[in-house]
Structure 1
């Protein structure tokens, strides 16, 4: 008979959150790193909540998807200023909560509360999240903001109907990680896709986020893709009009990602110009116009600032490199 998640986590050999040096803290915040929970080549880890972390201020450099299997828990989320009062969220039995990296938080569980943590490496989730999360809904929007914005202070939570399918899936993820049979990370990756799909089926109408930091209506990666497709003729004004947002909000969104609209457009245009210099015989004047500039002198100045050579020098250097005899392999 197949074990349920409840029977696994109440067993005497249930694996708690990994042992970590309790001295690693910064201004009373306990900092947990990827090396604390992931072994070599691991991208997903699954653990049961450790009672030692009760009421402890923590932050981690990976994403935490937690599930309340039994009992209730109060989670408190802090902004960078710990002097300000935190936002408190009551998580009941069969609730999910997604906590981005570097978000300071603490758990206050009931005595009988059981919490399952599914940890995702940030770079791995960024590479695969569009495959794992398929629907165009608030869950996708939250994950996109979480992965593509710097210093993203937010969290997301919702309750689900606890079905046999979900119980079996979570139990299998726990066992796959701790038994570590061959290709267990592959199994966890595909199980994660199923988990997010089950979330999407149930969470559309009652998903909740921080009331002080609502989700953005437009994602940064959406705008970036639009610029890549329309770089010769786009501008902050045309982008704002296309996405029905203000230019001030657009600039703020790019600022939060450590750049500006103008910088991104310029970089995409210049990279495309470099490709045209390498792959075509078009004149520099023609390339200037094709990538969206109308002043040749200005374009040459920008190109030299970005690549440290003029377009003419770049093409000459690239062509001479192609003509060099290639070494033979014996």
Structure 2
């Protein structure tokens, strides 16, 4: 790793200096405005940015908390001890843990020689990357559930990959791109993260998987995958045929795990995809309406404005 990046990783941050000078606890206002300790991506990521890195704050215990983003912790040097579901997990140098946005965990205080890099990732970052992985991959299944914010089961993936040179090399390249951004960094980071996930999936024997609720998860993942791939023309009837499950059972499962109906879940997907296309593509609004599966422009404008607070035209600008 470049010397200047290494120096940034090992240097004391302002927060760490305050802790060493006598601050006893984590300053929650740096992480959230809520009474409950839910770390907010808006505190850590610039507006519109989908991924960034942040060195884990040393010398202080992080009490139980959640976050509204995907957190990937990489032990660059030393160790990191997490407590999840009452169980201690001690990550060694070179190891990685993926935490979804519903996991509750606490972190023991790290020492001076412990350098932990946290990747802060909004779930929608993985929308494109999922296309690079096969459906039955353990990482794919983890990522699919992160894209549906109403599926609230805490999950993690723990990768013991110190000896995997290609994985370590990709992690260093991603860190370099994030610390020293260039014009092409956004594209490079997506490509590198995609390659990293492919390499991690090839080493499934080194993955420890945890979920607070495995019951019915496989059916829910299949539902999410179907909507993700077929949202323009998706129907509950077709889904029922594909999964060989009656409509009422699928409707009940969707409501139980997401609090939404199939129609509402499908609408969330279509609107989020329309929002991405408005910002990232050259399609006209009329073309986007058709691409995401709506035939009535007036209805689309109505539900889009209800969700985002502005018309599609203003959102585009």
TM-score range, shorter chain: 0.5 to 0.7
Q: Deviations over 1:222-241 (max 9, x none)?
A: 344679778495585x4552
| Cα deviation digits, residues 25-65 of structure 1 (max 9, x gap) | 645x4333222222244221012211165333332221111
Maintained 8 Å contact 1:96/1:159: yes
The residue aligned with 1:37 is: 44
Larger radius of gyration: 1
SS at match of 1:222: helix
Gaps of 5+ in 2: 19-25, 267-298, 300-317
Q: Residue 115 of structure 2 aligns with which residue?
A: 114
Partner residue of 2:129?
129
Q: What's the offset of the Cα at 1:10?
A: 5.3
Q: How does 1:159-238 map to 2 (within 5 A)?
A: 159-202=160-203, 204-210=204-210, 212-214=212-214, 216-218=217-219, 219=221, 220-224=223-227, 231=235, 234=238, 238=241
Question: TM-score w.r.t. structure 2 length?
Answer: 0.63
The root-mean-square deviation of aligned C-alpha atoms, in Å, is 4.0
CA distance in 2, matches of 1:16, 1:107: 16
The offset of 1:138, in angstroms, is 0.9
Structure 1 residue runs without a partner (length 5+): 79-85, 266-306, 308-330
> Matches of 1:263 and 1:190 in 2, distance apart?
32
Compared with structure 1, are the counterparts of its residues 135 and 176 closer, same or farther at alpha carbon in structure 2 (3 Å cutoff)?
same
Aligned to 2:92: 92
Measured against aligned partners, the alpha-carbon deviations of 1:189-217 in whole angstroms (never above 9, x if no partner) come to 22111211121121x22422326423722
- Alpha carbons of structure 1 residues 128 and 227: separation in structure 2 relative to 1, 3 Å: closer
What is residue 103 of structure 2 aligned with on the other side?
Answer: 103
1:39/1:149 Cα in 2 relative to 1: closer, same or farther (>3 Å)?
closer
Would the aligned equivalents of 2:59 and 2:109 in 1 still touch at CA under 8 Å? no
- C-alpha contact 1:64 1:100 (8 A) present in aligned 2: yes
Q: What TM-score do the two structures reach when normalised by structure 1? A: 0.61
Quote the offset at 1:137 in angstroms. Answer: 1.0
How far residue 252 of structure 1 moved from its aligned partner, in angstroms, is 2.0
Whether contact under 8 Å (1:63, 1:121) holds in the other structure is yes
